[in-house]
Amino acid sequence: MTVFYRRLPKFDYVSPKTLSEAWELMQGTKGIDYQVFAGGTDVIPKLKRRQGQIPKCLIDIKGIQELDYIRYDANAGLAIGALASVYAVAHSCLVSEHHPALASAAGKIAAPQIQHRATVAGNICNAAPSADTAPALLVLDATVRCASVSGERSIPLKDFFTGPLQTALSDGEIVKEILVPRSSAGPSSCYFKLSPRRTLDLAVVGVAAFIRANNGKCDEIRIGLGSVGRTPLRAFSAESTLQNAKITEESIELAAKTAAEECWPRDSIRGSAAYRRAMVRVLVARAIKQCLSGKPLGTLC
């Protein structure tokens, strides 16, 4: 019988209290596999499924308290520490007010119990094509701030996902925070998730949109897609059809159609490729209209 969930395999477990302690542990375990984790809501089930190689050591960064924050600065924008939980982000007034797409995406992950344990940074680091916060952070032009013993660097989120469950993180690097720049357009972003049920499910399709419009003309637009490719995607072609264009039913429809054409969904038990593609079209149009409506979706904060 195919193994689905087993009891945990054997591994070492360490729990550093500071970043430098974490780096030390990572260097100490060099040559043998380690896995950094925070909430563990992706890492632990993977181990139980025996998916991929079993690391010799798990480095639990939950104890690094300095990484648990959500901050907003009028100039720098929003900073989400690596340990900020999905629940905290979903229910943060700061996030809801400035970046509704992100609050809404976080609130649509799994269920409250998991949201309390999981982190937004972890959702990004797991790099699942269906990660709910990814399309939202993509349209918000987020960057990932990584730190290693040799220094820090920033990776634009659009370059962060390199393949299914693969990221641009190098050996010895830890995501410190996710930065979302201040938006000139105000809170005009949203995230729509299509799944059979209202909770628990992975997204069949996830669509986020950000738009800045003036006098019926689109000055800036970004569209993020989840579950329709090897990684979470930006729909660049769709964006370009609407960029600087007049916003009409037709132009929105064209963008939606283009997004559906440029994504790469596949068949799975959660939905056929054809259905996912069709749903990208429906949801992109809905998301753009939602952003333009200026009406806030219900917030959780």
Partner 1 sequence: MEKQFSVVGKRLPMVDAAAKVNGSAQFTDDLTFPGMLHGKLLRSPHPHAKILNIDVSKALRLPGVKGVVTGAEIPDRQYGIVPKARDEYALAKGKVRYIGDEVAAVCAIDPEIAEEAVDLIEVDYEVLPAVFNVQDSIKEGAPVIHEGVANNTSFAIRKEFGDVEKAFAESALVSEDSFYSQPVNHAPMEPHAAVAQYDPVRGQVVLWSSTQIPFFLRRNLSATLMIPESKVRVIKPKVGGGFGQKIDMFAKDFCAAWFAMKLGRPVKFVYERDEVFIVTRQRHPMHLTVKTGMAKDGRILAQQFLSYADGGAYNSTAPTMMALSCFFLMVPYHVPNLLYEGYHVYTNKPVGGAMRGHGIPQARFAVERQLDLMADRLNLDPADVRTKNSIKAGEPHPGGFVINTCGFAESVQLAAEAIGWKEKRGKLPFGRGVGMGGASFPSGVTNMSHISSGAVVQVGQDGGVNVLTGAADIGQGAETVIAQIVAEVLGVSLDDVRVTAADTGTTPLDPGTFGSGVTVRAGNAARIAAESVRKKLFECVADELEANPDDLVARDGVIFVTGSPEINITFPKALKAYQYKDLPMPLVGRASWMADTNEPTTLFTQPGNFSPNYSFMTQAAEVEVDTQTGKVKVLKMVTAHDCGRPINPMLVEGQLEGSIAGGMGQALYEDVITEKGQVMNPSFLDYGFPTTMEVPEMESIDIETDDPVGPFGAKEAGEGTQLSPAPAIVNAIYDAIGVNFNELPVTPEKILKALEEKKKQGV
Give the residue with the Cβ less far from partner 1, 222 or 281.
281
- The SS3 call for residue 59 is strand
Amino acid at site 191: Y
Beta carbons of 133 and 107 less than 8 angstroms apart? no
Q: 20: closest CA among 228, 176, 160, 159?
A: 176
Dist. CA 97–CA 120, nearest whole Å: 18
Q: 110: closest CA among 166, 39, 211?
A: 39
Q: Beta 57-60 vs 12-14: how paired, if at all?
A: parallel
Q: Site residues (CB under 8 A) for partner 1?
A: 1-2, 4-7, 194, 196-202, 269, 271-272, 275, 278-279, 282-283
- Cβ at position 248, least distance to partner 1 in Å: 19
The tokens describing 219, both together, are 């000055």
- Cβ at position 201, least distance to partner 1 in Å: 6
Give the residue with the Cβ less far from partner 1, 37 or 192.
192
- Cβ at position 11, least distance to partner 1 in Å: 13
- Cβ at position 208, least distance to partner 1 in Å: 17
- Cβ at position 265, least distance to partner 1 in Å: 13
Amino acid at site 269: I
Dist. CA 205–CA 209, nearest whole Å: 13
DSSP annotation of 267 reads: -
Give the residue with the Cβ less far from partner 1, 79 or 114.
114
Give the residue with the Cβ less far from partner 1, 251 or 272.
272
- Cβ at position 230, least distance to partner 1 in Å: 21
Give the residue with the Cβ less far from partner 1, 185 or 278.
278
Query: Phi/psi at 214 (nearest 5 deg)?
Result: -145, 125
Give the residue with the Cβ less far from partner 1, 114 or 185.
114
